A = this chain, B = another copy of it.
Amino acid sequence: MYSTHQFIAECYFASRPEMCPYPFQLKTTTTVACSRSFQEDRIWLNGKEEDINQPRLQSCLREIRRLARKRRSDGEGGVDLAGLSHKVHICSVNNFPTAAGLASSAAGYACLVYTLARVMGVEGELSAVARQGSGSACRSMYGGFVQWIMGQREDGKDSVAQQVEPETHWPELRILVLVVSAERKPVGSTSGMQTSVETSSLLKHRSDSVVPARMKEMIDAVHRKDFAAFAELTMKDSNQFHAICLDTYPPIFYLNDVSRHIINLVHHYNQHYREARVAYTFDAGPNAVIYTLQQHVDEFLQVVKHFFPPETNGGQFVKGLPVASTTLTEELRQAIGMEPMVKGISYIISTKAGPGPCIVEEPSQHLLGSDGLPKESA
């Protein structure tokens, strides 16, 4: 006998200061099953079995089991007694490239922790647990605009996420993910950040002085729905994050020539209109996350298509929320004045801020079959 619970957690994009909307179209789906018949804990990621003994995975499993035992000994209801002694099978898929700076590990760990907690009957604040899997996973535990509070404690236990505004707060805000490359990034973001802490002489100044001030301004910009302020903070902070990566020794590079081309394109576009209509942010990879308002989406997509002509291999260039075709004016094209870069962008995901983790009720969508093993399609 076994039980299956499945949840979908949306992936989250980090615009530092650590607060930003989830994109709606990027999903991690995770199914967790536990059964007396399982011999050991196992995990499958994107169709491939992975090592369950990875330290960060073990931290999350151990912590959820500890919380479940605590609940049982506290006599709280709703605890699945069986789940505590049984082994688990975990199956998780992302519908977007993994390890390409699209926060796949954040989405993955958030979804995993949320799902495990449901299976084991754990409730309450889970972002501190998710953070043990991947720092930024704590943010992915909520929808809409989320801030990651730095905390004061040495052990980091007060470093948790808080929702600033739900996803319904700013419906005009749109997100375009420009997928530059699905190649695996050379440095995982966790080890990269650790090296930065050890070697960058600028990081301390950034975290002590720059980020706290920007965080206040960012929360204020989101509350007021002030796109220009939101955009400038987002871009400056993305750039400063990558500056710190470069100040790390040996240096870490996530941006490539295509990323830089996108950055220049956004600045030229904004300069033409003399206002920040579009913003970029880059996480630990070359892919750009673009923010803009509903009324500018169609035009800006035309601009992107013109300056990054898609390969004509029949694949869909823009996925996700529908966009309308418009004509790019000659004036705008000349004002931007850059050389088109063929094949720079492989595809675009058109999306907007999404909700936090949700339960998938429909059994046909669960990833583990009745034998506790991944279905063919998972």
- Write the residues of chain A forming the contact surface with B, with a CB cutoff of 8 angstroms: 201-202, 205-206, 209-210, 232, 235-236, 239-240, 242-244, 246-251, 253, 256-257, 260, 263-264, 267
Contact = CB atoms under 8 A, between A and B. Distances in A.
B251 A246 contact: no
Contacts of A244: 243
A27 to B, nearest CB: 31
Contacts of A256: 257, 260
Number of copies of this kind of chain in the complex: 2
In the A-B complex, the 7 residue pairs with the smallest Cβ-Cβ separation, listed nearest first, are A243-B243, A243-B247, A205-B205, A243-B246, A250-B267, A257-B257, A239-B251
A202 B246 contact: no
Contact of A202 (B205, B249, B250): B205
Nearest to A270: B250
A199 to B, nearest CB: 8
A246 B249 contact: no
Contacts of A240: 201-202, 246-247
B257 A247 contact: no
A267 B248 CA distance: 13
Nearest to A214: B201
Nearest to A250: B267
A258 to B, nearest CB: 9
Contacts of A232: 249
Given A202-B206, A235-B250, A250-B267, 6 more contacts: A235-B249, A239-B246, A239-B251, A240-B246, A243-B247, A256-B260
Contacts of A205: 202, 205
A10 B80 CA distance: 78
A247 B209 CA distance: 15
Contact of A236 (B209, B236, B249): B249
Kindly name the residue among A201, A242, A256 whose own CB sees the greatest number of chain B CB atoms within 10 A: A201
A257 B259 CA distance: 11
A239 B249 contact: yes
A239 B235 contact: no
Contacts of A210: 201-202
